[in-house]
Amino acid sequence: MWRVFSRYLAFRRFGAVILEHILLVSCVLDAVHIRLSGPSTGFADYRQYLLRAVIMALTYQLFLHLRDVYDFRKTLSFAQFFVRLAQALMLASGTLTFIYYVDSDLWVGRGVFAVSLILISIFLSVWHTLLRVYLGIRAPRSNILILGTGRLARELVTEILRHPELGVGISGFVDDDPALLGTSIVNPRVIGLSCDLPRVVSRHKVDRVIVELQDRRGRLPIEELLHLKTQGVAIEDATSMYERITGKIAIENLKPSWMIFNAGFDVSRNMMVQKRIFSIAVSAILLILSSPIILLTMLLIKLDSRGPTFHRQERVGQDGKVFTLWKFRSMRVDAEKDTGPVWSEPGDRRVTRIGKILRRTRLDEVPQLFNVLRGDMSMVGPRPERPHFVKELATMIPFYHLRHAVKPGVTGWAQINYEYGNSVRDAVEKLQYDLFYIKHMSWLLDSVIVLQTIKTVLVRPGS
Protein backbone atom coordinates (compact mmCIF):
# COMPACT_ATOMS: atom_id res chain seq x y z
CA MET A 1 0.00 0.00 0.00
CA TRP A 2 1.06 3.59 -0.57
CA ARG A 3 0.79 6.37 1.98
CA VAL A 4 -0.31 9.83 0.80
CA PHE A 5 -0.83 12.45 3.53
CA SER A 6 -0.36 9.46 5.93
CA ARG A 7 -3.37 7.68 4.43
CA TYR A 8 -3.38 4.12 3.18
CA LEU A 9 -4.01 3.98 -0.55
CA ALA A 10 -4.15 0.59 -2.22
CA PHE A 11 -1.31 0.23 -4.73
CA ARG A 12 -3.31 -2.33 -6.72
CA ARG A 13 -6.12 0.19 -7.23
CA PHE A 14 -3.70 2.56 -8.99
CA GLY A 15 -2.26 -0.30 -10.99
CA ALA A 16 -5.77 -1.35 -12.02
CA VAL A 17 -6.60 2.21 -13.17
CA ILE A 18 -3.44 2.40 -15.29
CA LEU A 19 -4.06 -1.04 -16.82
CA GLU A 20 -7.69 -0.08 -17.41
CA HIS A 21 -6.55 3.01 -19.34
CA ILE A 22 -4.32 0.92 -21.60
CA LEU A 23 -7.13 -1.54 -22.27
CA LEU A 24 -9.62 1.27 -23.01
CA VAL A 25 -7.20 2.69 -25.58
CA SER A 26 -6.95 -0.83 -27.03
CA CYS A 27 -10.76 -0.98 -27.31
CA VAL A 28 -10.79 2.16 -29.43
CA LEU A 29 -7.95 0.94 -31.64
CA ASP A 30 -9.75 -2.40 -32.01
CA ALA A 31 -12.83 -0.46 -33.15
CA VAL A 32 -10.65 1.30 -35.73
CA HIS A 33 -9.39 -2.09 -36.91
CA ILE A 34 -12.92 -3.50 -37.18
CA ARG A 35 -14.26 -0.53 -39.13
CA LEU A 36 -11.29 0.54 -41.25
CA SER A 37 -8.96 -2.44 -41.73
CA GLY A 38 -8.21 -3.44 -45.27
CA PRO A 39 -5.37 -4.42 -47.61
CA SER A 40 -4.07 -0.83 -47.72
CA THR A 41 -4.32 -0.14 -43.96
CA GLY A 42 -0.90 0.42 -42.37
CA PHE A 43 0.62 1.40 -39.02
CA ALA A 44 0.40 5.12 -39.84
CA ASP A 45 -3.39 4.84 -40.18
CA TYR A 46 -3.68 3.48 -36.65
CA ARG A 47 -1.14 5.94 -35.21
CA GLN A 48 -3.27 8.95 -36.17
CA TYR A 49 -6.06 7.56 -33.96
CA LEU A 50 -3.82 7.06 -30.89
CA LEU A 51 -4.29 10.57 -29.42
CA ARG A 52 -8.04 10.36 -29.98
CA ALA A 53 -8.11 6.97 -28.28
CA VAL A 54 -6.24 8.36 -25.27
CA ILE A 55 -8.70 11.28 -25.01
CA MET A 56 -11.63 8.87 -25.17
CA ALA A 57 -10.13 6.62 -22.50
CA LEU A 58 -9.41 9.56 -20.17
CA THR A 59 -12.93 10.90 -20.65
CA TYR A 60 -14.51 7.58 -19.71
CA GLN A 61 -12.22 7.24 -16.68
CA LEU A 62 -13.04 10.79 -15.57
CA PHE A 63 -16.75 9.99 -15.46
CA LEU A 64 -16.08 6.62 -13.82
CA HIS A 65 -14.36 8.63 -11.10
CA LEU A 66 -17.13 11.23 -10.88
CA ARG A 67 -19.74 8.48 -10.46
CA ASP A 68 -17.60 6.67 -7.86
CA VAL A 69 -17.28 3.48 -9.89
CA TYR A 70 -13.81 3.09 -8.37
CA ASP A 71 -15.43 2.79 -4.93
CA PHE A 72 -14.77 -0.83 -3.96
CA ARG A 73 -16.35 -0.74 -0.50
CA LYS A 74 -18.40 -3.76 0.50
CA THR A 75 -21.36 -1.49 1.29
CA LEU A 76 -21.79 -0.81 -2.43
CA SER A 77 -24.07 -3.46 -3.98
CA PHE A 78 -23.70 -4.79 -7.52
CA ALA A 79 -26.99 -3.10 -8.46
CA GLN A 80 -25.66 0.28 -7.32
CA PHE A 81 -22.40 -0.39 -9.14
CA PHE A 82 -24.13 -1.12 -12.49
CA VAL A 83 -26.33 1.98 -12.16
CA ARG A 84 -23.24 4.13 -11.61
CA LEU A 85 -21.42 2.44 -14.49
CA ALA A 86 -24.35 3.04 -16.88
CA GLN A 87 -24.54 6.70 -15.82
CA ALA A 88 -20.78 7.13 -16.34
CA LEU A 89 -20.97 5.59 -19.83
CA MET A 90 -23.88 7.83 -20.89
CA LEU A 91 -22.29 11.01 -19.49
CA ALA A 92 -18.91 10.23 -21.05
CA SER A 93 -20.46 9.45 -24.43
CA GLY A 94 -22.46 12.70 -24.34
CA THR A 95 -19.36 14.69 -23.43
CA LEU A 96 -17.32 13.10 -26.22
CA THR A 97 -20.07 13.90 -28.71
CA PHE A 98 -19.91 17.55 -27.61
CA ILE A 99 -16.10 17.56 -27.86
CA TYR A 100 -16.28 16.18 -31.40
CA TYR A 101 -18.85 18.84 -32.30
CA VAL A 102 -16.55 21.61 -31.04
CA ASP A 103 -13.35 20.20 -32.56
CA SER A 104 -13.92 17.97 -35.57
CA ASP A 105 -10.20 17.11 -35.71
CA LEU A 106 -10.74 14.87 -32.70
CA TRP A 107 -13.65 13.03 -34.33
CA VAL A 108 -13.04 9.30 -34.83
CA GLY A 109 -16.03 8.81 -37.09
CA ARG A 110 -19.55 7.62 -36.31
CA GLY A 111 -18.81 3.99 -37.10
CA VAL A 112 -15.63 3.84 -35.00
CA PHE A 113 -17.34 5.69 -32.16
CA ALA A 114 -20.32 3.30 -32.16
CA VAL A 115 -18.12 0.20 -32.16
CA SER A 116 -15.87 1.75 -29.48
CA LEU A 117 -18.87 2.38 -27.25
CA ILE A 118 -20.00 -1.26 -27.56
CA LEU A 119 -16.51 -2.64 -26.86
CA ILE A 120 -15.90 -0.23 -23.96
CA SER A 121 -19.29 -0.98 -22.38
CA ILE A 122 -18.66 -4.73 -22.51
CA PHE A 123 -15.08 -4.38 -21.29
CA LEU A 124 -15.88 -2.08 -18.35
CA SER A 125 -18.81 -4.24 -17.22
CA VAL A 126 -16.69 -7.40 -17.18
CA TRP A 127 -13.53 -5.68 -15.89
CA HIS A 128 -15.11 -3.98 -12.88
CA THR A 129 -17.19 -7.04 -12.00
CA LEU A 130 -14.03 -9.14 -11.90
CA LEU A 131 -12.21 -6.46 -9.89
CA ARG A 132 -14.95 -6.35 -7.27
CA VAL A 133 -15.06 -10.15 -7.01
CA TYR A 134 -11.27 -10.37 -6.80
CA LEU A 135 -11.01 -7.73 -4.06
CA GLY A 136 -13.73 -9.52 -2.12
CA ILE A 137 -12.10 -12.96 -2.13
CA ARG A 138 -8.34 -12.45 -2.33
CA ALA A 139 -6.21 -13.19 0.72
CA PRO A 140 -5.20 -10.14 2.78
CA ARG A 141 -1.56 -9.04 2.58
CA SER A 142 -1.45 -7.87 6.20
CA ASN A 143 -2.88 -9.70 9.22
CA ILE A 144 -3.58 -7.56 12.29
CA LEU A 145 -4.65 -8.16 15.88
CA ILE A 146 -6.50 -5.55 17.94
CA LEU A 147 -5.40 -5.15 21.57
CA GLY A 148 -8.49 -3.71 23.27
CA THR A 149 -12.24 -3.75 22.64
CA GLY A 150 -13.20 -0.10 23.12
CA ARG A 151 -15.23 2.09 20.81
CA LEU A 152 -12.22 3.18 18.73
CA ALA A 153 -11.22 -0.48 18.22
CA ARG A 154 -14.71 -1.31 16.97
CA GLU A 155 -14.84 1.69 14.63
CA LEU A 156 -11.38 0.87 13.25
CA VAL A 157 -12.36 -2.72 12.48
CA THR A 158 -15.62 -1.57 10.87
CA GLU A 159 -13.71 0.75 8.53
CA ILE A 160 -11.20 -1.96 7.60
CA LEU A 161 -14.00 -4.41 6.79
CA ARG A 162 -15.64 -1.80 4.53
CA HIS A 163 -12.44 -1.43 2.46
CA PRO A 164 -11.31 -4.85 1.17
CA GLU A 165 -9.10 -3.15 -1.42
CA LEU A 166 -6.64 -2.26 1.38
CA GLY A 167 -5.74 -5.93 1.79
CA VAL A 168 -5.88 -5.82 5.61
CA GLY A 169 -7.15 -8.91 7.42
CA ILE A 170 -8.27 -9.01 11.07
CA SER A 171 -7.48 -12.05 13.20
CA GLY A 172 -9.55 -10.80 16.13
CA PHE A 173 -9.42 -8.95 19.41
CA VAL A 174 -7.37 -9.47 22.57
CA ASP A 175 -8.58 -8.13 25.92
CA ASP A 176 -7.69 -8.52 29.61
CA ASP A 177 -11.24 -9.51 30.61
CA PRO A 178 -11.68 -13.34 30.61
CA ALA A 179 -15.47 -12.90 30.41
CA LEU A 180 -15.12 -11.52 26.86
CA LEU A 181 -13.34 -14.60 25.46
CA GLY A 182 -15.21 -15.88 22.41
CA THR A 183 -17.46 -12.82 22.28
CA SER A 184 -18.05 -11.37 18.81
CA ILE A 185 -17.00 -7.70 18.63
CA VAL A 186 -18.30 -6.16 15.37
CA ASN A 187 -17.48 -9.34 13.38
CA PRO A 188 -14.15 -10.80 14.60
CA ARG A 189 -14.20 -12.37 18.10
CA VAL A 190 -12.08 -11.93 21.21
CA ILE A 191 -9.56 -14.73 20.62
CA GLY A 192 -7.25 -14.34 23.61
CA LEU A 193 -6.12 -12.48 26.72
CA SER A 194 -3.46 -9.78 26.96
CA CYS A 195 -1.21 -12.06 29.02
CA ASP A 196 -1.24 -14.65 26.19
CA LEU A 197 -0.42 -12.08 23.50
CA PRO A 198 2.76 -13.77 22.08
CA ARG A 199 1.01 -17.14 21.83
CA VAL A 200 -2.04 -15.62 20.06
CA VAL A 201 0.20 -13.73 17.62
CA SER A 202 2.15 -16.87 16.77
CA ARG A 203 -0.91 -19.09 16.39
CA HIS A 204 -2.74 -16.67 14.05
CA LYS A 205 0.40 -15.51 12.15
CA VAL A 206 -0.19 -11.86 13.04
CA ASP A 207 2.26 -9.33 11.58
CA ARG A 208 0.86 -6.18 13.24
CA VAL A 209 -0.67 -5.49 16.67
CA ILE A 210 -2.91 -2.42 17.01
CA VAL A 211 -3.07 -1.12 20.59
CA GLU A 212 -6.35 0.43 21.74
CA LEU A 213 -6.74 0.63 25.50
CA GLN A 214 -8.78 3.45 27.01
CA ASP A 215 -6.75 3.51 30.23
CA ARG A 216 -3.30 2.07 29.61
CA ARG A 217 -1.88 2.58 33.10
CA GLY A 218 -1.34 -0.84 34.63
CA ARG A 219 -3.07 -2.57 31.69
CA LEU A 220 -0.59 -2.36 28.83
CA PRO A 221 1.40 -5.63 28.48
CA ILE A 222 4.75 -3.86 28.00
CA GLU A 223 7.00 -6.93 28.19
CA GLU A 224 4.89 -8.92 25.73
CA LEU A 225 4.75 -6.03 23.25
CA LEU A 226 8.53 -5.46 23.48
CA HIS A 227 9.13 -9.16 22.88
CA LEU A 228 6.88 -9.13 19.81
CA LYS A 229 8.55 -6.02 18.42
CA THR A 230 11.99 -7.66 18.66
CA GLN A 231 10.53 -10.63 16.75
CA GLY A 232 9.55 -8.42 13.81
CA VAL A 233 5.88 -7.83 14.67
CA ALA A 234 4.84 -4.20 14.09
CA ILE A 235 3.23 -2.43 17.05
CA GLU A 236 1.00 0.54 16.30
CA ASP A 237 -1.32 2.88 18.14
CA ALA A 238 -4.99 2.59 17.16
CA THR A 239 -5.29 6.35 16.70
CA SER A 240 -2.52 6.35 14.07
CA MET A 241 -3.98 3.35 12.23
CA TYR A 242 -7.46 4.88 12.28
CA GLU A 243 -6.04 8.10 10.84
CA ARG A 244 -4.51 6.33 7.85
CA ILE A 245 -7.54 4.19 7.15
CA THR A 246 -10.19 6.92 7.42
CA GLY A 247 -8.48 10.26 6.74
CA LYS A 248 -9.57 11.66 10.11
CA ILE A 249 -8.19 11.76 13.65
CA ALA A 250 -10.32 10.08 16.31
CA ILE A 251 -10.69 12.42 19.27
CA GLU A 252 -11.91 9.65 21.58
CA ASN A 253 -9.07 8.83 23.98
CA LEU A 254 -6.87 11.31 22.07
CA LYS A 255 -4.00 12.53 24.23
CA PRO A 256 -2.36 15.94 23.75
CA SER A 257 1.01 14.14 23.84
CA TRP A 258 0.04 12.22 20.67
CA MET A 259 -0.38 15.51 18.79
CA ILE A 260 2.73 17.07 20.34
CA PHE A 261 5.16 14.25 19.55
CA ASN A 262 3.64 13.12 16.23
CA ALA A 263 4.81 14.61 12.95
CA GLY A 264 2.50 17.30 11.58
CA PHE A 265 0.45 20.11 13.13
CA ASP A 266 3.21 22.43 11.93
CA VAL A 267 1.35 25.65 11.17
CA SER A 268 4.44 27.60 10.08
CA ARG A 269 4.67 31.11 8.67
CA ASN A 270 6.01 29.71 5.40
CA MET A 271 2.97 27.44 5.09
CA MET A 272 0.60 30.34 5.77
CA VAL A 273 2.26 32.41 3.01
CA GLN A 274 1.87 29.50 0.55
CA LYS A 275 -1.79 29.09 1.49
CA ARG A 276 -2.41 32.81 1.09
CA ILE A 277 -0.90 32.89 -2.41
CA PHE A 278 -2.84 29.76 -3.40
CA SER A 279 -6.09 31.15 -1.99
CA ILE A 280 -5.83 34.52 -3.73
CA ALA A 281 -4.99 32.92 -7.08
CA VAL A 282 -7.81 30.34 -6.99
CA SER A 283 -10.47 32.72 -5.64
CA ALA A 284 -9.63 35.41 -8.21
CA ILE A 285 -9.88 32.91 -11.07
CA LEU A 286 -13.17 31.51 -9.74
CA LEU A 287 -14.67 34.99 -9.33
CA ILE A 288 -13.81 35.89 -12.93
CA LEU A 289 -15.19 32.63 -14.30
CA SER A 290 -18.37 32.78 -12.22
CA SER A 291 -19.16 36.49 -12.72
CA PRO A 292 -22.06 35.79 -15.18
CA ILE A 293 -23.53 33.25 -12.71
CA ILE A 294 -23.17 35.76 -9.86
CA LEU A 295 -25.13 38.42 -11.77
CA LEU A 296 -27.85 35.93 -12.76
CA THR A 297 -28.13 34.65 -9.18
CA MET A 298 -28.49 38.19 -7.81
CA LEU A 299 -31.36 38.83 -10.24
CA LEU A 300 -33.14 35.56 -9.38
CA ILE A 301 -32.92 36.20 -5.64
CA LYS A 302 -34.48 39.64 -6.09
CA LEU A 303 -37.30 38.24 -8.22
CA ASP A 304 -37.97 35.33 -5.84
CA SER A 305 -38.40 37.09 -2.49
CA ARG A 306 -38.12 40.45 -0.81
CA GLY A 307 -34.95 41.40 0.99
CA PRO A 308 -31.24 41.90 0.25
CA THR A 309 -29.35 39.80 -2.26
CA PHE A 310 -26.53 39.00 0.15
CA HIS A 311 -26.71 37.61 3.65
CA ARG A 312 -24.11 38.77 6.17
CA GLN A 313 -23.40 36.66 9.21
CA GLU A 314 -20.85 36.66 12.00
CA ARG A 315 -18.49 33.69 11.94
CA VAL A 316 -15.48 32.68 14.00
CA GLY A 317 -12.15 32.73 12.18
CA GLN A 318 -8.49 32.15 12.94
CA ASP A 319 -7.51 32.51 16.62
CA GLY A 320 -11.19 32.90 17.54
CA LYS A 321 -11.57 36.30 15.85
CA VAL A 322 -15.08 37.10 14.62
CA PHE A 323 -15.54 38.31 11.03
CA THR A 324 -18.48 39.01 8.72
CA LEU A 325 -19.10 36.25 6.21
CA TRP A 326 -20.92 36.94 2.93
CA LYS A 327 -23.31 34.50 1.27
CA PHE A 328 -26.17 34.69 -1.19
CA ARG A 329 -29.37 34.91 0.81
CA SER A 330 -31.13 31.54 0.72
CA MET A 331 -33.64 32.08 3.57
CA ARG A 332 -36.42 34.49 4.35
CA VAL A 333 -35.33 37.80 5.84
CA ASP A 334 -37.05 37.03 9.17
CA ALA A 335 -35.84 33.40 9.30
CA GLU A 336 -34.46 33.64 12.87
CA LYS A 337 -36.70 36.38 14.23
CA ASP A 338 -38.51 34.12 16.68
CA THR A 339 -36.01 31.28 17.20
CA GLY A 340 -32.61 32.92 17.26
CA PRO A 341 -29.60 30.95 15.92
CA VAL A 342 -30.62 27.33 15.23
CA TRP A 343 -29.21 24.48 13.14
CA SER A 344 -30.54 24.28 9.60
CA GLU A 345 -32.47 21.06 8.90
CA PRO A 346 -33.44 19.11 5.74
CA GLY A 347 -36.67 20.53 4.31
CA ASP A 348 -36.23 23.74 6.33
CA ARG A 349 -39.30 25.92 5.60
CA ARG A 350 -37.24 29.07 6.08
CA VAL A 351 -35.38 28.37 2.81
CA THR A 352 -36.71 30.18 -0.27
CA ARG A 353 -37.39 28.52 -3.63
CA ILE A 354 -34.21 29.89 -5.16
CA GLY A 355 -32.42 29.19 -1.88
CA LYS A 356 -33.06 25.45 -2.24
CA ILE A 357 -31.34 25.49 -5.63
CA LEU A 358 -28.48 27.62 -4.33
CA ARG A 359 -27.86 25.27 -1.41
CA ARG A 360 -28.11 22.14 -3.54
CA THR A 361 -25.55 23.52 -6.02
CA ARG A 362 -23.47 25.37 -3.36
CA LEU A 363 -23.85 28.62 -5.29
CA ASP A 364 -24.83 30.34 -2.05
CA GLU A 365 -21.17 29.94 -0.99
CA VAL A 366 -19.69 31.87 -3.96
CA PRO A 367 -19.62 35.33 -2.24
CA GLN A 368 -17.24 33.83 0.34
CA LEU A 369 -14.58 34.25 -2.33
CA PHE A 370 -14.64 37.97 -1.44
CA ASN A 371 -13.90 36.99 2.17
CA VAL A 372 -10.88 35.08 0.85
CA LEU A 373 -9.58 38.15 -1.01
CA ARG A 374 -10.10 40.25 2.14
CA GLY A 375 -8.03 37.82 4.19
CA ASP A 376 -10.82 36.62 6.50
CA MET A 377 -10.73 33.12 4.99
CA SER A 378 -8.59 30.76 2.96
CA MET A 379 -9.73 28.81 -0.06
CA VAL A 380 -9.28 25.61 1.95
CA GLY A 381 -9.76 25.15 5.68
CA PRO A 382 -12.28 24.21 8.38
CA ARG A 383 -15.83 25.43 7.85
CA PRO A 384 -16.40 28.68 9.80
CA GLU A 385 -19.12 28.42 12.45
CA ARG A 386 -21.25 31.05 14.14
CA PRO A 387 -20.09 32.35 17.56
CA HIS A 388 -23.22 30.99 19.26
CA PHE A 389 -22.51 27.44 18.10
CA VAL A 390 -18.75 27.70 18.69
CA LYS A 391 -19.31 28.66 22.31
CA GLU A 392 -21.74 25.76 22.73
CA LEU A 393 -19.61 23.15 20.94
CA ALA A 394 -16.34 24.15 22.63
CA THR A 395 -17.79 23.15 26.01
CA MET A 396 -18.96 19.77 24.70
CA ILE A 397 -16.22 18.60 22.31
CA PRO A 398 -12.56 18.19 23.33
CA PHE A 399 -9.93 19.92 21.17
CA TYR A 400 -12.63 21.91 19.35
CA HIS A 401 -10.59 25.12 19.68
CA LEU A 402 -7.77 23.61 17.56
CA ARG A 403 -9.81 24.09 14.38
CA HIS A 404 -9.24 27.84 14.82
CA ALA A 405 -5.45 27.43 14.49
CA VAL A 406 -5.83 28.20 10.78
CA LYS A 407 -8.13 30.39 8.72
CA PRO A 408 -11.51 28.85 7.85
CA GLY A 409 -12.08 27.83 4.24
CA VAL A 410 -14.68 28.02 1.50
CA THR A 411 -14.11 24.30 1.14
CA GLY A 412 -12.18 21.80 3.20
CA TRP A 413 -11.29 18.21 4.01
CA ALA A 414 -14.37 17.83 6.20
CA GLN A 415 -16.69 19.35 3.59
CA ILE A 416 -15.69 16.89 0.85
CA ASN A 417 -15.65 13.83 3.13
CA TYR A 418 -18.74 14.42 5.25
CA GLU A 419 -22.24 15.53 4.39
CA TYR A 420 -23.84 18.70 5.75
CA GLY A 421 -24.18 18.38 9.54
CA ASN A 422 -26.62 19.98 11.95
CA SER A 423 -25.92 18.25 15.27
CA VAL A 424 -23.23 17.83 17.90
CA ARG A 425 -22.43 14.37 16.55
CA ASP A 426 -21.90 15.86 13.09
CA ALA A 427 -19.66 18.55 14.61
CA VAL A 428 -17.51 15.82 16.21
CA GLU A 429 -17.14 14.01 12.89
CA LYS A 430 -16.19 17.20 11.05
CA LEU A 431 -13.68 18.15 13.76
CA GLN A 432 -11.92 14.81 13.28
CA TYR A 433 -11.50 15.59 9.57
CA ASP A 434 -10.41 19.16 10.38
CA LEU A 435 -7.68 17.88 12.71
CA PHE A 436 -6.41 15.57 9.97
CA TYR A 437 -6.28 18.55 7.60
CA ILE A 438 -4.41 20.76 10.06
CA LYS A 439 -1.90 17.97 10.74
CA HIS A 440 -1.13 17.38 7.04
CA MET A 441 -1.75 20.87 5.67
CA SER A 442 0.11 21.62 2.44
CA TRP A 443 -0.49 23.30 -0.91
CA LEU A 444 -0.64 19.84 -2.50
CA LEU A 445 -3.42 18.72 -0.13
CA ASP A 446 -5.21 22.04 -0.80
CA SER A 447 -5.05 21.31 -4.54
CA VAL A 448 -6.50 17.82 -4.02
CA ILE A 449 -9.35 19.28 -1.95
CA VAL A 450 -10.19 21.93 -4.57
CA LEU A 451 -10.30 19.29 -7.33
CA GLN A 452 -12.40 16.98 -5.17
CA THR A 453 -14.73 19.90 -4.39
CA ILE A 454 -15.41 20.30 -8.11
CA LYS A 455 -16.43 16.65 -8.21
CA THR A 456 -18.59 17.09 -5.11
CA VAL A 457 -20.36 20.12 -6.61
CA LEU A 458 -21.04 18.25 -9.84
CA VAL A 459 -22.35 14.94 -8.55
CA ARG A 460 -23.26 15.06 -4.86
CA PRO A 461 -25.92 16.73 -2.74
CA GLY A 462 -25.02 19.74 -0.63
CA SER A 463 -22.50 19.41 2.15
Query: In the beta sheet, which residues pair with residue 331?
Result: 351
Minimum mean pLDDT range among 42-56, 144-158, 385-399: 42-56
Please name which of 370, 328, 433, 361 lies closest in space to residue 5, comparing C-alpha atoms: 433
Q: Which residues contact 295 (CB under 8 A, 6 or more apart)?
A: none
Q: Are 48 and 106 in contact (CB under 8 A)?
A: no
Q: Are 206 and 171 in contact (CB under 8 A)?
A: yes
What residue spans define the domains of the chain? 9-137, 142-246, 269-334+342-459
Minimum mean pLDDT range among 137-151, 193-207, 233-247, 268-282: 137-151
d(CA 326, CA 331): 14
Q: Are 254 and 420 in contact (CB under 8 A)?
A: no
**What is the pLDDT confidence band of residue 338, given thresholds at 50, 70 and 90?**
low
Tell whether the model's pLDDT for residue 349 goes beyond 60. Answer: yes
User: In the prediction, which pLDDT does 414 show?
Assistant: 92
Query: In the beta sheet, which residues pair with residue 2?
Result: 9
Q: Which fold has domain 142-246?
A: Rossmann fold (3.40.50)
Please name which of 78, 53, 56 lies closest in space to residue 128, comparing C-alpha atoms: 78
Tell whether the model's pLDDT for residue 404 goes beyond 90. Answer: yes
pLDDT digits (tens, 9 = 90+) for 174-199: 988 888 888 888 888 999 998 889 99
Q: Are strands 409-411 and 378-380 parallel, antiparallel or unpaired?
A: parallel
219, 224, 225, 228: CA torsion to nearest 10: -160
pLDDT digits (tens, 9 = 90+) for 196-255: 899 999 999 999 999 987 655 557 888 889 999 999 999 999 998 899 888 899 987 788
| pTM given for the model | 0.77
Instruction: Burial-class residue 375 by CB neighbours within 10 Å (0-12, 13-18, 19+).
Output: middle
> Which runs of E-coded beta strand occur in 160-287?
168-175, 190-193, 208-211, 234-237
